[in-house]
């Protein structure tokens, strides 16, 4: 039968190729010698032995490219700060563009097999894969950003980006002439809605007449879409733009249209010098240094959550433009100092939702749990949250 013969020939061809490749592989030396290359088949896998005298190996998983000028760039800056501070005691590495999907699990397992004992996952979507790998490797420490599930060897961390959004709002409220602010939203999760709300509250603190309009691109990073979304906000009358997406596209669109905007996650001044008012910049360095130090001196414990803000130096509004008049700058500084010493509580009642219902009674300050579950727009934000804020 000719077909069978063809199949056998193909098999032989591929087989010989594979055999050749295997020969090449077997003649190479093993790369890392300190740890096992795969978790054992039994339920209790062998834990990789930590290198006693070598530097602490730390690995980072990024969802975007390091060059995004936004979210991932900020994380990498934090990693570099940690590396600089701790020098020879740590050895850091990263993998970028790890998708928030099943493949992430393989990347985390590979990081473990490479001898990393402290692993950072920098986006919400890594939660389930990290949890799985954490459960299989009890002696490796896992840090998950912006998530909520923990384990004995896994904890979560985040930055109070809403404080940066509030400060930006203060500037926006004072700079807008049309009283219409525009926000390009990424994904309608509580973190982003909280930022939109805080931005509006900040603006209302200096200008009670502002309205905020929101357009969602449903992605963290998509510059062409962000451009179109920003353009449509400008078309609708917004003259100051804010974003929760990870690229400078919104700022660039504002620059082209002669409007004003903010940088987000990193300092984006260079992308739109004429339009740039200020950048809400996340500083992951202090937390990363703390976590690494704890891992080094053995005081690291899992299961908790760290949520740092202006007070701890994790977020700030930087590169405030000279376009901002002195009196507005003074208000901004007052807000910043208030956040630093705790005298300013952004989420303190009375706060009303945009459907008219009161969400925080007068005088009551919201706790972290309330903040984590925000599914409503405050008064002044137009529209409803997609997917229905239940």
Q: Is 255 in the site for other proteins (CB under 8 A)?
A: yes
CA neighbor of 204 nearest in space, from 176, 233, 184: 176
Q: Is 47 in the site for other proteins (CB under 8 A)?
A: no
Q: Is 111 in the site for other proteins (CB under 8 A)?
A: yes
Give me 180's structure tokens.
């219409």
Query: Among residue numbers 160 through 189, which ones bind other proteins (CB under 8 A)?
Result: 182, 187-189
- Shortest spacing between CB 54 and other proteins, in angstroms: 18
Residue (18 or 152) nearer to other proteins, CB? 18
Residue 340: in which H helix or E strand, if any? helix 326-341
Query: Among residue numbers 368 through 387, which ones bind other proteins (CB under 8 A)?
Result: 372-373, 375, 382-384, 386-387
- Shortest spacing between CB 72 and other proteins, in angstroms: 10
In this structure, what DSSP letter does residue 381 have?
A: B
Stretch that binds other proteins, among 108-116, 157-165, 170-178, 359-367 (CB under 8 A): 108-116
Measure the CA–CA gap between 48 and 112, rounded to whole angstroms. 8
- In the sheet with 305-308, reading across from the earlier edge strand, the strands are 90-95, 56-61, 118-121, 141-145, 154-159, 305-308
- Shortest spacing between CB 355 and other proteins, in angstroms: 13
Q: Is 80 in the site for other proteins (CB under 8 A)?
A: no
In this structure, what DSSP letter does residue 326 have?
A: H
- Shortest spacing between CB 282 and other proteins, in angstroms: 17
- Shortest spacing between CB 338 and other proteins, in angstroms: 28
Q: Please give the size of the binding site for other proteins, defined by CB under 8 A.
A: 99
Q: For residue 211, is the peptide bond before it cis, meaning its omega torsion is within 30 degrees of 0?
A: no
Query: Among residue numbers 185 through 244, which ones bind other proteins (CB under 8 A)?
Result: 187-190, 193, 213-216, 218, 221-225, 227-229, 231-237
- Burial string for 355-389 (b: 16+ CB within 10 Å, else e) reads eeeebbeeeeebeeeebeebebbbbbbeeebeeee
């Amino acid at each position: 039968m000719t077909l069978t013969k063809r199949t056998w020939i193909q098999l032989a061809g591929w087989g010989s190729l594979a055999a050749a490749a295997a020969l090449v592989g077997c003649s190479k030396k093993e790369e890392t010698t300190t740890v096992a290359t795969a978790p054992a088949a039994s339920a209790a896998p062998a834990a990789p032995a930590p290198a006693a005298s070598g530097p602490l190996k730390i690995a980072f998983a990024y969802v975007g490219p390091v060059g995004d000028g936004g979210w991932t760039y900020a994380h990498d800056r934090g990693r570099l700060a940690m590396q600089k501070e701790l020098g020879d005691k740590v050895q850091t590495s990263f993998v970028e563009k790890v998708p928030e999907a099943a493949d992430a699990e393989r990347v985390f397992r590979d990081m473990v097999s490479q001898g990393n004992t402290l692993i950072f996952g920098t986006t919400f979507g890594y939660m389930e894969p990290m949890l799985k790998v954490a459960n299989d490797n009890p002696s490796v420490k896992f840090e998950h950003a912006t998530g909520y599930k923990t384990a004995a060897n896994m904890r979560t961390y985040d930055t109070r980006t809403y404080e940066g959004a509030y400060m930006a709002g203060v500037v926006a409220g004072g700079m807008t002439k049309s009283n219409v602010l525009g926000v390009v939203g990424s994904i309608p999760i509580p973190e982003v809605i909280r930022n939109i709300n805080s931005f509006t509250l900040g603006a209302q603190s200096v200008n009670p007449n502002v309205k905020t309009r929101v357009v969602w691109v449903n992605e963290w990073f998509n510059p062409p879409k962000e451009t179109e979304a920003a353009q449509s906000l400008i078309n609708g009358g917004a003259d100051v733009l804010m974003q929760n997406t990870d690229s400078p596209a919104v700022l660039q669109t504002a620059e082209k249209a002669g409007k004003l905007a903010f940088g987000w996650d990193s300092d984006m001044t260079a992308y739109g010098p004429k339009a740039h008012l200020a950048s809400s910049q996340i500083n992951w360095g202090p937390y990363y240094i703390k976590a690494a130090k704890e891992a080094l001196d053995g005081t690291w414990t899992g299961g908790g959550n760290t949520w740092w803000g202006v007070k701890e130096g994790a977020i700030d509004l930087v590169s405030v433009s000279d376009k901002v008049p002195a009196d507005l700058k003074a208000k901004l500084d007052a807000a910043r100092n208030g956040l630093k010493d705790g005298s300013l509580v952004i989420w303190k009642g009375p706060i009303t939702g945009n459907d008219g219902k009161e969400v925080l009674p007068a005088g009551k300050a919201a706790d972290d749990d309330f903040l984590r579950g925000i599914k409503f727009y405050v008064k002044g934000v137009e529209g409803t949250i997609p997917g229905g804020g239940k």
